[in-house]
Chain A
Amino acid sequence: MKKIKNPENLEALRQTILSRRDPSIQVARVCCTTGCRAGGALNIIDSFEQELADRDLKDKIEVKKTGCRGFCENGPIIAIESKDVFYNKVRPKDVPDIITETLVHGKPVKRLLYTDLESKKKIRSEKDIPFFRKQVLNVFSKMGKIDPTKIDDYIAEGGYSALVKALTSMTPEEIIETIEASGLRGRGGGGFPAGRKWRSCREAPGIVKYVIANGDEGDPGAFMDRSLMEGDPHSIIEGMIIGGYAIGANQGFIYVRDEYPIAVEHLTLAIDQARSYGFLGKNIMSTGFDLDIEINRGAGAFVCGESTALMNSLEGKVGEPRAKYIHTVKSGLWERPSNLNNVETWANVPLIIDQGAERYAETGTRTSKGTKIFSLVGKVRNTGLVEVPMGITLREIIYDIGGGIRKDKQFKAVQTGGPSGGCIPLSKLDMRMDYDSLYEVGSMMGSGGLIVMDENSCMVDVAKYFIGFLMHESCGKCVPCREGLRQMHEILSNICEGRGEDNDIALLEELSHFMIEASLCALGGSAPNPVLSTIRYFRDEYRAHIFDKKCRAGVCRNLFEYYIDEELCNGCTVCRKKCPELAVSGAKKALHVIDPDKCIGCGICYSLCMQEAVRVR
């Protein structure tokens, strides 16, 4: 294959790719990343192939396997841009209708369109769906459009132009200045200015240097990195090549967890394809710069997302952190200067080089520039991945994009930044989402997870869950993290089971501050966040558990009982029939009663009662 050496070569290639496309061919884009595949997207592809072959339409209709559009809950998703239709929850049996109605006759198949949550009207176009309306797609701009296994698709959309520009018309110094001026901060957790990190690594003494992409996403409920690696792997690779050139590294590594097989497959293909066009390998674009990238599969330890643990793991050692008193940009992988960035950070780099730092920095707040991909999950009506400008309010994300809380329940809190982030309460809903505001309220950006909780979530139980997760995922090397988390989990379990003691809150706070100061790495240093933030905003709930022995959310089984409201019960008998312990009594159309001695607090009656007559006390 012809190697690309300059902007003219790339433009010529792009024109060739575009000229090969027949504009009369209709394209149906089927999302084929993890979420939609689990929903049967590959069967849909098979149905299409079969149907198109049977009807002899193969030269008129093309089916493209694309990356994720973020609306995973409503998958499998098919977009047909030429007809401006967006289908969700498609099944293989719907394929004949899609071909006949839409692709041949240009009419939408109504039952497959998205139904608006408020008006219950069908929405035809993707851009009119509230979930997408407030999003600003920069990093995700090519997602859902291109086939991630084809480099030509990426190039047709303008891919690799930033690399060509950087290597042919910019010095490494100019690239670093541009990244610094853009205000790009690390998207993986800490939010450290990327440009400053690059500069430190470039200036660190040493001939052998490394660039590394962190794709070891481990936060419960977060999947934006997976989606990016699966759906647009070239954007990460392009960013890494630019970074390698700027820093002076000749070897790159992508650390990706093995639980992401599609990401591994697509990245592997992308690296091979980039090599074939001469974007990777020796003497890239005749500049004398060499870089190759290797993929390293991680075994799925949460702690391996921590920079030094990741480097230990890359070296073939046990994935546990080491002291960072000498920064990894000076002494990292194999004690060489190493620049580690999250995959989303790398994917931002081509955008910055392409459009310039000034243009990039127009989006966002004073200290947080650009967009951020959040993974919106939990008790919201629309869940999925959303890319929004930094500085958007939590309310806009949860209510405008997320469509509000399910079943019209009351919003209670949102956990941001993964298990070591914090819980943000109702009173902070209008806060702006940027690195510094999140830190001020006791949470963090983390990788961008947003777990929304409603009135049925007990905040003590939530803290116990996250501390339990971290206790198992801590590497166990340093005493504060290993034993501190164990003690905190013990105390929280006792509180949830009704054995809370008077000074438990104070002890939790003391242990938290101790862990922040004394832990070896950021996992232990940020692990107390869920405890501190829930105590800060929901102290009353802790007190109710400890002193009144009450869990008003109805989660901690020893601390509440269900009862039936006399006014609301219409005697429909559903609760009585479904109770596994036969704890409910009452005749048809008469008031029902729960025997607290028999009730095991399973909550079946609570979830089934249409009258909402089953209450917690």
Chain B
Amino acid sequence: MVTLTIDGQHVRVEEGTPILEVARKLGLHIPTLCYHPALKPHGACRLCMVEVNKNKWSKLVTSCNYPAEEGLEVSTSSDRVKRIRRVLMELFLARCPNVPVIQQLAERKGIRTSRLKKIDDQRCILCGLCVRTCEEMVGVSAISFTNRGTDREVNTPFGIASDVCIGCGACTYICPTTCIEMICNSDDAGGQSLHMGELALEACPYNHACDTCEMEQHFVEDMKSAVQQLRKTS
């Protein structure tokens, strides 16, 4: 166990606990977009950055994956932190000006306009919740990040209908910007497919029943209970 201070409150926690979890237990609000308690931290949206002070140094870290250590002093809303969050929101607004989650979060931070040019109109914020859910909860990795840099997007391997997607819909559920859509095909044996822009996920039409299929039958049931667990934890 270690003792640390968050916004002046002393707290004793297990060493290594992510600061974000500690802060939330104390009732402190730290904004996040790529964090989910049931998934491994990703550290990509950077909104959860806090300022940590130890001995004589101070630095900005992402609280979702920074481990609690003895004697740490954490500030969740210092001027430095606020400045970083402001620019982050401006960057999000420039990429996704019409996404309600972004608009609401920006408004809560008092940001109505971005000084940066709106250079895109994406719905996907690349938080990776869908990718991690599919990998960690469902265990099939039907979708992943593809391409680098500004071309980065969520897609299936080679951009074609996935042959491992089981059509569970966990990705559509977890997506904070509702950019993955599930379409039910009543005339199809598998029943449903998912669409996200160019991305199309389709359930196996044979319900993973062929001799060659590597997917075990009880797997779909396991996945369903995983999705339910996900609903409970959020």
List residues of chain A with CB under 8 Å of any chain B CB. 301, 303, 318, 320, 322-323, 325-326, 471-480, 482-487, 490, 507, 510-511, 514, 517-520
Contacts and interface: CB of A to CB of B under 8 A. Distances in A.
Interface stretch (B1-9, B105-113, B146-154): B146-154
Interface string B67-94: 1000000000000100110011001101
Nearest to B87: A514
A479 B148 CA distance: 13
Given A326-B67, A480-B91, A518-B49, A486 B150 contact: yes
A89 B78 CA distance: 62
B117 interface: yes
A325 B65 contact: yes
Contact of A323 (B45, B62, B88): B62
Contact of A476 (B62, B84, B144, B148): B148
B39 interface: no
A487 B119 contact: yes
B46 A476 contact: no
Contacts of A507: 115-116
Contacts of B67: 325-326
Contact of A478 (B44, B84, B94, B147): B44
Contacts of A322: 43
Given A487-B117, A520-B43, A476 B65 contact: no
A482 B46 contact: no
Contacts of B148: 301, 303, 472-476
Given A518-B46, A518-B88, A520-B46, A476 B147 contact: yes
A487 B91 contact: yes
B60 interface: yes
Contact of A490 (B41, B92, B117, B145): B117
Classify the secondary structure of A's interface with B.
Answer: helix
A476 B145 contact: yes
A300 to B, nearest CB: 11
15 contacts: A323-B41, A323-B65, A472-B148, A473-B149, A476-B147, A476-B151, A477-B44, A482-B152, A487-B91, A487-B117, A487-B119, A490-B119, A517-B60, A518-B49, A520-B62
A318 B145 contact: yes
A179 B23 CA distance: 43
A487 B92 CA distance: 11
Nearest to B67: A325
B87 A511 contact: yes
Nearest to B45: A479
Nearest to A477: B44
Contacts of A518: 46, 49, 60, 84, 87-88
Contact of A484 (B43, B66, B91, B151): B91
Contacts, number: 99
Given A318-B145, A484-B91, A475 B152 contact: yes
B149 A485 contact: yes
Can you list the 4 inter-chain pairs with the closest CB atoms, starting with the nearest? A476-B152, A483-B91, A474-B149, A514-B87
B6 to A, nearest CB: 16
A520 B44 contact: yes
B230 interface: no
A325 B15 CA distance: 13
A447 B36 CA distance: 38
B128 to A, nearest CB: 8
A318 B141 CA distance: 12
B223 interface: no
A519 B60 CA distance: 10
Contacts of B60: 517-518
Contacts of B149: 471-476, 482, 485
Contacts of B61: 325
- Which of B65, B87, B116 is most buried by chain A, counting CB atoms within 10 A of its CB? B87
Nearest to A520: B43
A478 B150 contact: no
A584 B42 CA distance: 59
B208 interface: no
Nearest to B152: A476
Nearest to B65: A323
Nearest to B59: A517
A301 B151 CA distance: 14
B226 interface: no
B196 interface: no
- Which of B42, B95, B150 is most buried by chain A, counting CB atoms within 10 A of its CB? B150
B126 interface: yes
B66 A325 contact: yes
Contacts of B128: 477
- Which of B42, B43, B94, B145 is most buried by chain A, counting CB atoms within 10 A of its CB? B43
A489 B144 CA distance: 27
Given A323-B65, A520-B43, A472 B88 contact: no
Interface string B151-187: 1100000000000000000000000000000000000
A14 B147 CA distance: 51
A323 B43 contact: yes
A474 B126 CA distance: 14
A233 B163 CA distance: 43
Contacts of B150: 471-472, 474, 476, 482, 485-486
Nearest to B153: A476
A477 B152 CA distance: 8
A516 to B, nearest CB: 10
B46 A483 contact: no
Interface in B18-73: 41-46, 49, 60-62, 65-67
Nearest to A514: B87
A572 B156 CA distance: 62
A484 B94 CA distance: 10
Nearest to B49: A518
A520 B117 CA distance: 23
Given A325-B66, A490-B117, A483 B94 contact: yes
Contacts of A485: 149-150
A480 B41 CA distance: 17
A71 to B, nearest CB: 35
Nearest to A478: B44
A472 B147 CA distance: 9
Contacts of A473: 148-149
A318 B131 CA distance: 12
Contacts of A520: 43-44, 46, 62
A484 B90 CA distance: 10
Contacts of B62: 323, 520
